[in-house]
Amino acid sequence: MLDDAATGRFAVVPVVARSVGAGFGVAWIEREVSVVGVRVETVGEGEPIGLDDVDTRVRWLLDLISGAEAQMLSRLWQPATFDVLAAGVDRQGRKLATQGHVAAARLGWTPHYPDGVYVPSRVTRVVTAQVMASLRTLAFRDTAIASLSERFDPATGRIAPPTAAADWMPPGFARGVRRQLIARARRDGDAVPSGRLRITDMQAPPQTSAMARLSAADRQLAQLTVAERELVLTVKLPTTPAPTGRAQWRSVRLTAAIPAHLHGRAITDWHLPTLVLDKKGLLLRCAATELVPSGDLGSATVAVGWIGPRPRSVPPPSPPTARRGWSRTFGVSRTTTAASGPNSPACRPKASCCTARPPG
């Protein structure tokens, strides 16, 4: 830090109250950096901010993510990308990792941001994870289009039956690809190339929804804790539409009430949510792991599916031994928890100042 201060990489060192920097000695830090014209500011642990401000900061975050995601998808929209995903190995012949951001890093696929804009590496993880999820989903469609286009007859608009088991496709999926091939044949006429086509020949890069899957990041970007019947999410958000340094990314603490029908459930773990914005504001789409009873499947002749709370007439279930995952959507209420009803999830955001470390 002292070397960066001497080179003029920053002019202010914010120190959060009760943090490691404050305990180390603000006076000592101030004495050392004041020699090169840098001042120290001691800030509090956070002050409440309005939900409109939270929505604005989340919108700035989603704009950065969606812009980088669209640019990355457009740059990778070529047959070579889907060939790599179909092979499932990187440049060194290693199997691609399941985590999207790890696989993208091994392949050298990184997003680009506008000049002068600083984006933390953890946000880049979110971008690459979402892009890889989209590309891996479309890789199956690319394989299907390549297989079906070879058996497609533009004159009759029919697809010949498969000759091998590997060429079989679900009927509904094949009908959708056939409609694409017919539309292309009618649009281009005699100019339609015969033979194998790819997804990049049939359609443009997909347009994705603006969202931030925080599960791709780690504790440096977002943390989720459970306090009594509330979820407390701490996430770093930009303070400007185009942040130029780390000091313009601050932590914001959001509190959302857990819906009443989930109270008493055997939930063992809550996972980082996906941030989205709708007409009413911020939504936290959370996923959780819950213990469920293991039933004796051999003792019954009829299986009945039940979605919702357990009826009161049903006896208590056996001890839970299995796990299952599900997701819930929590709305960011415009009122406090006390003012809202017991079944109305609420969120009380607070701005928590963080120590602005120098870049590099």
Note the pLDDT of residue 307: 54
Task: Give the residue-averaged pLDDT of 147-156.
Answer: 85
> Which of 265, 269, 270 has its CA nearest to residue 286?
270
Task: Give the residue-averaged pLDDT of 248-265.
Answer: 85
Of 39-48, 59-68, 86-95, 333-342, minimum mean pLDDT range: 333-342
| pLDDT tens per residue, range 213-245 | 999 988 889 999 888 788 889 999 999 999 999
Say whether pLDDT at 18 is over 90: no
Note the pLDDT of residue 120: 94
User: Where do the structural domains in the chain lie, given as residue ranges?
Assistant: 2-45, 52-202, 212-292+319-352
Note the pLDDT of residue 102: 93
Of 13-17, 63-67, 251-255, minimum mean pLDDT range: 13-17
User: What average pLDDT does the structure give for the chain?
Assistant: 77
Say whether pLDDT at 48 is over 90: no
Residue 121: pLDDT band by 50, 70, 90 thresholds? Answer: very high
Indicate the DSSP class of residue 358. Answer: P
Of 29-33, 173-177, 224-228, 323-327, minimum mean pLDDT range: 323-327
The residue ranking higher by pLDDT, 297 or 103, is 103
Note the pLDDT of residue 99: 93
Is residue 284 within 8 A of residue 329, CB to CB? The reply is yes
